[in-house]
Amino acid sequence: MYNGPMRRLKPGENQDFILLELRGGYPYLQVDHGTGIAKLTIDGRDSKNEYRLRKLNDGKWHRVDIYREARVRLFW
């Protein structure tokens, strides 16, 4: 899913965009609201390096919620 400019931008034009895709079956998010690109990845593993999240490229419907709190954080 992509929401943003669909043409080459001129210098100084607003470059805001959001991009959500699957990489290796897991969500990958890129966002830029004018302060630089933020990238968030999930690889299915927890802090102990054990897989906890199943891949989402299994042919079934899934829901991904993305929340943004002011200019401070982005999380899902």
What does the DSSP assignment read for 2-23?
Answer: EES--SPPPTTS---EEEEEEE
pLDDT band at 26 (very low <50, low <70, confident <90, very high): very high
The residue extents of the domains of the chain are 2-75
pLDDT of residue 74: 56
pLDDT of residue 71: 62
pLDDT of residue 10: 82
20 to 11, 13, 25, 33, 48: CA distances (angstroms):
25, 22, 12, 15, 26
Range 2-31 average pLDDT: 88
Range 19-39 average pLDDT: 91
